[in-house]
Structure 1
Amino acid sequence: MEQKERIKRVALYLRKSRNNEGEETEETLAKHRKRLLDIAEKNNWEIKLFQEVGSSMDENRPEYQKMICEIKENLFDAVLSVNLARVTRDDAETPKFMSLLRQEDVLFVTDSERIYDLEIQEDWQALKFTGFVNNWEYENIKAQLRKGKKDSAKLGRWSNGTPPFGYIYNPLEKRVEIDKERAKGVKLAFQLVLDGMGVDNITINLNQLGYRTKRGNLFSGKSIERMIRSEIYKGWIVSNRLKGRNTHQGKIRPKEQWIIVKDAIKPCIIDEETWDIANERLTLRQSLAPRARTETRFIEFD
């Protein structure tokens, strides 16, 4: 039986890259979708679409994981995608994905209608080599992006996503600028730390004054601590600090790998001396026994 004749049910996987893998538009995704749907229609394949935005280095993508589960349930004869890099190019995940296809006797089809049968050694080696090239290209892209971030930071430009509370992004200048109203909240938080107040009580004060996070939520003790610890308020831009995109749970890289550019943002909200003292006092307070931190202080409201 010819390979195409084996295919009746197809998992069609589409992924739009995040900005860290290069800019892509919705138009790009639409073109990929149409190309793959045309292939499926031409061959009378029954399809199920899995579509998401995410990094090909992240194996925890919801649609990807859903597709993997359904492959294991023997629901598909083939996976159809633009290329292997659209599915995965992580050097650990790629062989796992390929092994799953071989184990479940599932073919892999690209947008050029190249069909890989991973039971055939030549196809296995060809796709394995493709995966190696994809990973090599990805590492080069990341290196160029890191260099670009450092160069941008040296020019005072912002490339770290949404700026934190107290700053706004100027897309024309590619810089962050002070949000005057929210900056008052930042200055108040730092002053209250200098006055000896703990982050939980600072949270109460800011929330009662009507301040909200960038997402419109109430402040928490953790969000106040992140604010005080963030170097951006003294004008530094720090990037490449975390592995992965989760700001709060990402694994911290060794400090020598961080990209730190001092005095990148001018003017800044907090001067460097105030930032340093506030951080020292916060560290000292956090080292105290819990009972010693229970003093509650409030500012006067008009």
Structure 2
Amino acid sequence: MNVAVIYARYSSDNQREESIEAQIRAIKEYAKRNNTNIYKIYADEARSATTDNRPEFLKMIKDSELGLFDMVIVHKLDRFSRNRYDIAFYKKQLKKNGVRLVSVLENLDDSPESIILESVLEGMAEYYSANLAREIMKGLKETALQCKHTGGKPPLGYDVAEDKTYIINKKEAQTVKIIFEIYSNGFGYNKIIDKLNNEGYKTKTGKNFGKNSIHDILKNEKYRGIYAFNRTARKENSKRNHRKSKPSSEIIRIEGGIPRIIDDNIWNKVRKRMDSNKNATNRAKETYLLSGLVYCGK
């Protein structure tokens, strides 16, 4: 009798996809019809199949080395992955460990015809993901051109109205003004943090302030009335690099697109000081005769 594990995945991007429970139920029925014992269930909820950053998926691949099962059953191949490279790579890993991948809805064997069919199914799954991402981005860009909220938590100092436009949260805006005022007067992050935390001010998520939250606030152009969208660089190793920006040609940036909290005078003082501090980090650690007086001409 074959021994199998179940792998199920549900992505929150598409509410039409079968739930984890529905996938598992269909797989168990398949296993029963094919005289197969289910050893374990691996399931990733709200995880995209375009990446292998799925804890249960990776655990299943690792466990395949133990020789405890000889089959992985999925409801459809796109539950396993929608990336053709990942499908080929991890199927090879499973095969090396004596484990084969089986789909309930796609009856694939080792025949030449099945190889072609599987390639078509994998290509269609990858196309579906790429096309879905493109359509989602198209909708987000249209929303952004109207200077409306595109998702996630708004920055400290703002709320989102029913029509998705930004409105000022007066209480939070006062916190933002304090941060800019103290920094523009020459005090550092520690001074700002001590004042805010000692007087009970909180971040947007209700936590105490730290250096990262202060830094992000001081750099946020929204506070001077500039709406920006699509600034953050693409994911690296499945994580967004919030310190790295895309080329300006890809960014939607609209002056006056959002209510202003900080005036240009304070904003410019803060920017000048932040730029000065950034340049200072590149100076020599040792103290020399002309330290701070001689600079590179380029």
Q: TM-score, normalising length from structure 1?
A: 0.78
C-alpha distance 274-100 of structure 1, shift in aligned 2 (>3 A): same
- Residue number in structure 2 paired with 1:194: 184
- Residue number in structure 2 paired with 1:242: 233
Q: What's the offset of the Cα at 1:134?
A: 1.7
Residue-by-residue CA offset, 1:140-184 (whole Å, 9 max, x unaligned): 2222222211101112221242223223344x3233433222221
* Equivalent position amino acid for 2:11 in 1: S
Q: What's the offset of the Cα at 1:263?
A: 4.1
- Residue number in structure 2 paired with 1:210: 200
- Residue number in structure 2 paired with 1:3: none
- Residue number in structure 1 paired with 2:31: 40
* Equivalent position amino acid for 2:40 in 1: K
Q: Which has the larger radius of gyration?
A: 2
Choose from 21, 28, 41 the match for 1:49: 41
Q: What's the offset of the Cα at 1:68?
A: 0.8
- Residue number in structure 2 paired with 1:68: 61
Separation in 1, partners of 2:215, 2:136: 29
Task: Give the 5 Å matches for 1:274-293.
Answer: 274-288=266-280
Separation in 2, partners of 1:257, 1:138: 25
Q: What's the offset of the Cα at 1:219?
A: 1.5
- Residue number in structure 2 paired with 1:82: 75
Structure 1: runs of 5 or more not aligned: 1-5, 292-302
Residue-by-residue CA offset, 1:6-63 (whole Å, 9 max, x unaligned): 6x22221222214xxx342898444334333333344453142211221212212111
Q: What's the offset of the Cα at 1:277?
A: 4.0
Task: Give the 5 Å matches for 1:135-214.
Answer: 135-170=126-161, 172-214=162-204
**Contact 1:14–1:51 under 8 Å retained in 2:** yes
Residue-by-residue CA offset, 1:102-123 (whole Å, 9 max, x unaligned): 33343323242x3434x55443
Residue-by-residue CA offset, 1:192-211 (whole Å, 9 max, x unaligned): 22212222322222222212
Deviates more, 1:179-188 or 1:59-68: 179-188
Q: What's the offset of the Cα at 1:67?
A: 0.9
Structure 2: runs of 5 or more not aligned: 284-298
Separation in 1, partners of 2:57, 2:107: 20
Separation in 2, partners of 1:99, 1:183: 55
- Residue number in structure 1 paired with 2:209: 219
| Partner SS, residue 203 of structure 2 | coil
Separation in 1, partners of 2:213, 2:80: 35
C-alpha distance 122-99 of structure 1, shift in aligned 2 (>3 A): farther
C-alpha distance 288-80 of structure 1, shift in aligned 2 (>3 A): same
- Residue number in structure 1 paired with 2:91: 98
**Contact 2:8–2:20 under 8 Å retained in 1:** yes
Separation in 2, partners of 1:25, 1:210: 44
- Residue number in structure 2 paired with 1:123: 114
Residue-by-residue CA offset, 1:56-109 (whole Å, 9 max, x unaligned): 122121111111111232332222223222222234322212222333343323
**Contact 1:241–1:255 under 8 Å retained in 2:** no
**Contact 1:107–1:115 under 8 Å retained in 2:** no
| Partner SS, residue 280 of structure 2 | coil
The count of aligned residue pairs is: 278
| Partner SS, residue 258 of structure 2 | coil
* Equivalent position amino acid for 1:220 in 2: G
C-alpha distance 269-124 of structure 1, shift in aligned 2 (>3 A): farther
Separation in 2, partners of 1:282, 1:201: 16
Separation in 1, partners of 2:163, 2:8: 34
The percentage of aligned residue pairs carrying the same residue is: 25
Separation in 1, partners of 2:197, 2:24: 46
